[in-house]
Amino acid sequence: MAPTRARGSLLMDRYAVIGNPVAHSKSPQIHAAFALATGEALVYERLLAPLDDFPGTLAAFRRQGGLGANVTLPFKLEAYAAASEHSARAVQAGAVNTLVWREDHWFGDNTDGVGLTRDLRQNLGCRVADQRVLVLGAGGAARGILGPLLAVHPRMLVISNRTVKKADELAALFAEDGPVVSETARNLAGQSFDLVINATSSSVGEDTHPLPWPAGLFAPGAFAYDLMYASEPTRFLNWADQQGATRRADGLGMLVEQAAESFLLWRGVRPETRAVLDGLRG
């Protein structure tokens, strides 16, 4: 059966980002730029779902002809539950950030991790293969990036989290995918890494507690990457600067790259990301 076309909006195919809050989302701007650049006719909107009714919002969107959605905080687990078919990387992450309507059901994928590795390797020229990589945090974002990071063969991948048990669980979960271990903040003293990725939400909001990790984590020439993005350098990136990290980047490139991967899933065409990323940074 052919995908159902949206009624209204000049019969353009309909996509959305669903979250709560969602007003700040840059996704409509990114997908509008992709659509313009690729000549794809689509509309992409923001949908604020009530915290207790993600399924109702998704069902209403589908009734109005919605063909695909990005899903952001706090609904990535509920999006997983809403999908009756999943990609391998969504299963690995246990979370869905992209939904695609397939004939009579939602297909769930997770493009966050591949968004990160594309940004690191292609946009930033940061080598991951054979490098010592440290991931700080063990929440939903960390879970989404571990599989794609291990797929590009770091020499070792260490996970460290404020709540140690969660890091232990993630390391065990991904043990078959590559050389991954968990480490307490205290035991990291004396170790250094080529790439340190902040996948905590410690850069968000007014949290002023000192970061719980020891000094000396950055090897000479090390790269610091914060999944969080902001118009000013984040708290983690300022800390990394003080600690001697040579190169630093925030997660705006990851956001654009994960969006491009979603666009590819929906439309079968991969948009160029460079101009869109430059435009957002501008």
CA dist list (Å): 35 to 63, 69, 100, 130: 23, 15, 17, 37
* Binder of ligand NDP out of 53, 207, 272, 278 (CB under 6 A): 207
Four-point Cα dihedral 107, 108, 112, 118, nearest 10: -30
Four-point Cα dihedral 230, 233, 236, 241, nearest 10: 160
Stretch that binds ligand NDP, among 31-39, 52-60, 204-212, 271-279 (CB under 6 A): 204-212
Count of residues touching ligand NDP (by CB under 6 A): 29
* Binder of ligand NDP out of 26, 46, 132, 162 (CB under 6 A): 162
For residue 119, the 8-state DSSP code is: I
Least Å from the CB of residue 216 to ligand NDP: 18
Closer by beta carbon to ligand NDP, 6 or else 193: 193
Dig out the tokens for 88 from the structure.
């391998």
Least Å from the CB of residue 253 to ligand NDP: 8
Closer by beta carbon to ligand NDP, 6 or else 135: 135
Stretch that binds ligand NDP, among 12-20, 24-32, 172-180, 193-201 (CB under 6 A): 193-201
Closer by beta carbon to ligand NDP, 157 or else 255: 255
3-state secondary structure 188-216: HCCCCEEEEEECCCCCCCCCCCCCCCCCC
3-state secondary structure 227-278: CCCCCCCCHHHHHHHHCCCCEEEECHHHHHHHHHHHHHHHHCCCCCCHHHHH
Active-site amino acid positions:
76
* Binder of ligand NDP out of 22, 196, 227, 277 (CB under 6 A): 227
Q: Which residue is nearest to ligand NDP (CB)?
A: 139
94 near ligand NDP (CB under 6 A): no
Ramachandran quadrant class, 130 (left: phi over 0; alpha: psi -120 to 50; beta: rest): left
Dig out the tokens for 93 from the structure.
């992450």
* Binder of ligand NDP out of 159, 197, 228, 240 (CB under 6 A): 228
Give me the residues that bind ligand NDP (CB under 6 A), please: 112, 115, 137-142, 161-163, 166, 199-204, 207, 209, 211-212, 227-229, 251, 254-255, 258
